[in-house]
């Protein structure tokens, strides 16, 4: 499906924000000599997710909506555990929490139309949609892994498994984007470079600590 240029620009803005968050996180990790989890990373993740929800809706691409739904509230959890909500008006937090619910409710208010446009979109055959969802799931499940890991550590951490899943998911999303002729999805995965670099920083810090 060919969309107006402004729709692609919305998607590109979301992907750019996702890329910049990794650039910031990578820079701070390089300075610290270890993988760090800065608050700005999670704030930019949350804003980027909102933008990509809109992009997925406008593109009628359920795999994007599905993928963003996995990590959205985990971003909020990390912002919360870092204490960044303390100075934010409660109404803004409520609106942030309700945003995915509203988007999904709008999508499903007309089930036949939702089924036709999102689940049986002729531009996204069932097999391709399943592959796209698997790619998004692999990429976004890293957030669930990060949540469980951080919860056990009682602090926000970006562990090795997070970056390994990010690399695997990015490769699948790139393939999906190429097949769908969606250059926004393909360009958005330039962040795979930072994921690979974080894996390298992780092992470098372990060597310095004499753990490998």
- Would you kindly state where each structural domain of the chain is located, as residue ranges? 5-208
What's the pLDDT band for 48 if we cut at 50, 70, 90? very high
- Per-residue tokens: 178: 């190429």
Give me the pLDDT at residue 1, please: 55
The answer to whether residue 8 scores a pLDDT higher than 80 is yes
What's the pLDDT band for 174 if we cut at 50, 70, 90? very high
Could you tell me which residues come within 8 angstroms of residue 34 by beta carbon, excluding any fewer than 6 positions away?
201, 202, 205
Lowest mean pLDDT among 3-7, 39-43, 57-61, 117-121: 117-121
Buried (b) or exposed (e) across 133-171, using 16+ Cβ within 10 A? bbbbbbbbbbbebbbebbeeeeebbbbeebbbbbbbbbe
Across the range 40-65, mean pLDDT stands at 89
How much is the mean pLDDT over the chain? 89
Q: In whole angstroms, what is the distance from residue 67 CA to residue 138 CA?
A: 9
Give me the pLDDT at residue 66, please: 84
CB 24 within 8 A of CB 38: yes
CB 174 within 8 A of CB 191: no
Element (H, E) at 193: helix 192-208
The answer to whether residue 110 scores a pLDDT higher than 70 is yes
Across the range 130-159, mean pLDDT stands at 92
Give me the pLDDT at residue 106, please: 80
């Amino acid at each position: 499906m060919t969309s107006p240029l402004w729709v692609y620009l919305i998607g590109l803005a979301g992907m750019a924000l996702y890329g910049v968050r990794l650039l910031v996180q990578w820079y701070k990790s390089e300075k610290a000599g270890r993988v760090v989890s800065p608050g700005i990373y999670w704030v930019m993740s949350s804003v980027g997710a909102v933008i990509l929800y809109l992009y997925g809706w406008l593109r009628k691409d359920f795999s994007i909506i599905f993928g963003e739904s996995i990590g959205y509230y985990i971003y909020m959890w990390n912002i919360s555990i870092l204490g960044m909500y303390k100075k934010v008006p409660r109404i803004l937090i409520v609106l942030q929490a309700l945003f995915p619910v509203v988007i999904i409710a709008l999508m499903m208010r007309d089930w036949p139309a939702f089924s036709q446009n999102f689940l049986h979109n002729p531009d996204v055959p069932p097999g391709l949609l399943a592959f796209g969802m698997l790619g998004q799931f692999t990429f976004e499940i890293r957030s669930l892994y990060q949540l469980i890991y951080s919860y056990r550590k009682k602090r926000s951490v970006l562990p090795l498994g997070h970056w390994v899943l990010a690399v695997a998911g990015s490769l699948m999303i790139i393939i999906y984007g190429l097949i769908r002729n969606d250059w926004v999805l393909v360009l958005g995965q330039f962040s795979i470079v930072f994921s690979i670099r974080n894996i390298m920083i992780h092992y470098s810090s372990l060597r310095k600590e004499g753990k490998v």
